Chain A
Amino acid sequence: MPGPQPLEAANVSKLPPAPTQAAKLPRGTSGETGDRVFKFTMLLCGLAVLATLALIVYELVLRSGPSWHAFGFKFFAGRDWDPVNEQFGALPFIYGTLVSSLLALIIAVPLSVGVAVFTTEMCPKALRGPLSFFVELLAAIPSVVYGLWAIFVLVPLLSNYVQPFLGRTLGWTGFFDGPPYGISMLAAGIILAIMIVPIISSITREVLMVVPQHQREAALALGATRWEMIRVGVLRNARAGIMGGIILGLGRALGETMAVTMVIGNRPEIAKSLFAPGYTMASVLANEFSEATGDLNLAALIEIGLALFLVTIVVNALARLLVWTVTRGQPSRANA
């Protein structure tokens, strides 16, 4: 048995100094090694967070390379998406993502700010908890369930009632023109709006709650009505934070995939009318990624993913910055 013997010998040779050290500092030495190992392990976990983001960037850049070399900047201006002839242009998807997200913001911002103002400034204290719980519940519904509901409830509603009405009254603008199929940019915008309301309203609520109470009291003391107090004393002070919440909602809307894919119609065309089908960056990834034919097709799709990634990073960083400037020093869930 040659194996164990040297090991034992090593143990014996290390044994004698141990008691003297232990006598000096009973726990200290073992604690120091333990501390170092522990800190190092935790540091590795922290570094894993950094590494994950680095890995995302690396993989996206590396694998979108072929497409970048083939098309350059023209990739983002091209309107053709033709896997058979290997011609790829991302403009219709970029257009679809931007228009559906902006539409969602137009619908969601007034609603979310209204809900936040109502919960923090107007409603009885007893209602506050349940109300914010219900709004948060909206955030817990998975995207695919929103999509399911949109396909079978929202889309028929739109095509039977809303679209004919909008077509009659606002059809002349060109934005609400064409056959009312239901499946459309408009449907995508509405379902996105429902999905981002909880994000914008919960951030807005947080921001409104850190507005100092004496701002409200000062406005009221000057004879302001409640609405004037909210407008001058609360909303004006919370502008930057609300803007942060809106941009955070935009970030979510830009990257949202499933619900949009299920109702937007998935046609890579740029149409003025919101009744026309469209296509978004996230949707084309969801639909075509696992069926991509050939390396260039895959690279083009990953380049769309890279663009989506970069845009959401910028948007989110901006939002965090704005929210931080307002709620700095406050725990981020002040309402708990």
Chain B
Amino acid sequence: MLKYILKRLGVAIPTLLILIVFSFILMRVAPGGPFSSERPLPPQVLANVNAKFGLDQPWHIQLWEYMVGIITRFDFGPSFAYTDRSVNDIIAQGFPVTLTYGVWSFVLAVLVGCLLGIAAAVRHNSWLDYFAVGTSIGAQVLPNFVMAPLLVIVFTLWLRWLPGGGWNGGQWNYIIMPVIALGTSYMASIARITRSSMLEVLNSNFIRTARAKGMPATHVIVRHALKPALMPLLSYLGPAFVGMVTGSVIIDVFFSTGGIGQLFTNSAFNRDYSVIMGITILLGALTITFNLVVDVLYAWIDPRIRY
């Protein structure tokens, strides 16, 4: 087990380092430095500013300082567009927002998706089953950037129930639509995966035995079928998490929630490289860590996995 964890860390850590180096190089080869604006600064001022941000150092020293800053102090350096704020400040402002509705979406997608999938498998070929299959096909072609405007049309324009955007300190009616828009397609995928693996498990011999010896139906499902049926789901959680992190960019931009995605796109338009890099690396680290945890959990739960 420990060997497996170490092996996975052996992939995860180089990945993170490659990501940092890659974004750093990209930023350095970008045409125009962060301070070459339309109005050229006087050379002395430019030199001073460059010295302040350490841009006059050779680039390998800059890279080293940047990496050391991130790894030891969790410090992504100053923002180039808003010189009085650090990247950490900017991220700290947006991250709680994204995290709030991200966690809600994730929990809802997993809970509702699992329940729907299990119900569809248990009542195979009933209207519930058809509903689950139908939504999962529909959700495949309705990604979050299609869901979001459709939700706004229905709930804001026609029914006038929910506000069409904003965050308002995370009031419940501002959270609902981002959560639904972000979570629906993953809920549908989770339902599909749970349904098919549950169907497979329900048709296996040990379930037949359990039924044959007269166990109550709920007991068979909850105690025997559930655990093996949820195994394939675990390996989907990694990609789902990544997708939600990425999808939150759309949600932030569309609903103007002020989350990390909105900061990311704003910085992309402002060419505020240090913020873009900081967010890319932070989300990359999150993704890599989550995948690592899921993989280790998977190997721990399912002893058949060779590692």
Q: Is chain B a partner of chain A in the same complex?
A: no
Q: Taking beta carbons and an 8 Å cutoff, which residues of A are in contact with B?
A: none
